[in-house]
Structure 1
């Protein structure tokens, strides 16, 4: 429930729920500890609790390192997931550039078998943050990749992200890359 609260931008309830989940499973393995601490970090960052957010993301890093050093473990929270969590914390703390760097790390570390749906979600976030930084052409290129995979995926979250593209690009209609992406968006979404 903390993940959902965080996705909706409700930091304080997300903190309460993340802390309750972590308290409910004190004897969990390193991957579960990484997940719990990563969610706590994101929730704290959304709630404006910078110190707690940074302490929790460091705990996440320690747990991922411990999990990845154990032989015979697989699946679950990984270095790629840690990079995504770090991106979310950085973004919530106002570090858009750092958030973009962490998302690039996520894609570099991502397993090729990872789901296409999550790749589109994270790519959409990357495009929005690239635009926030003023990197319009990079954002358009990233959104172009999202539109490539969009017709094959059925997801309410991706639908919402793709639906935001025209409003986000509206101030940039005079730019050729933005105009071309808006035309492509119309072709893909208005069939």
Structure 2
């Protein structure tokens, strides 16, 4: 899905539905969220909504420790909120996507630096889309702080997106925007 193969992701996660009931809670949550997001990306908001509701209504606890396979150890409440936000974002629901990203950030703070920084970057994008440039600059500043020592393509893409979105206000004399833009440019040079 991250490579843009949304139809294939929807088909694969749809084909995995028979395994859903025998999967562990974290596996079900991950599978359900990928299915929801792929449906949203293929233009099926009703199917995506149903898939999101199924994940929310699942009685399994996707955060318990214990008998979870090691392949899904990373997928806890922060990841669930992040994937919910990405699905809502694909559906164009900016109000709820912002709340979901904020929930992910609160639950992930202090761990998974790259994912935390990227999530902050996504939240900043939503804030700009909602006309909240000051909030976005504050959020992006936190994202740049979280990127300290992080080297990844996703983090770099997040910084490039920041700079692109800031280009609309560049040279308007907005101190917070100018500061974030300078820091982002430094990271891209590094």
TM range (shorter): 0.7 to 0.9
Q: Which residue of 2 aligns with 1:86?
A: 84
- Match status 1:14 vs 2:9: yes
- 8 Å Cα contact 1:38-1:56 kept in structure 2: yes
Aligned-residue CA RMSD (Å):
2.4
Count residues in correspondence.
Answer: 184
Q: Among 25, 30, 35, which residue is 1:30 paired with? A: 25
Q: Secondary structure at the match of 1:123?
A: helix
Instruction: Indicate the SS of the match to 1:14.
Output: helix
Q: Which residue of 1 aligns with 2:103?
A: 105
C-alpha distance after superposition, 1:123-175 (max 9, x if no partner):
11111111111110111111111222324011111111112222211111112
Structure 2: 5+ residue stretches without partners: none
Give the conservation status (yes or no) of the 8 Å contact 1:31–1:76.
Answer: no
Gaps spanning 5+ residues in structure 1: where?
Answer: none
Residue 140 of structure 1 is matched in structure 2 by 137
| One of 143, 156, 167 as aligned partner of 2:153 | 156
For the residue of structure 1 that corresponds to 2:92, the secondary structure is: coil
Is 1:188 the counterpart of 2:183 in the alignment?
A: no
Call closer, same or farther: CA 1:26–1:153 in 2, change over 3 Å.
same
**Quick one: distance in 2 between partners of 1:79 and 1:187?**
33
Task: Note closer, same or farther for the CA distance 1:49–1:182 as it changes in structure 2 (3 Å cut).
Answer: same
Q: TM-score, normalised on structure 2?
A: 0.84
Superposed structure 1 runs of 4+ greater than 6 Å apart: none
Higher helix content, 1 or 2: 1
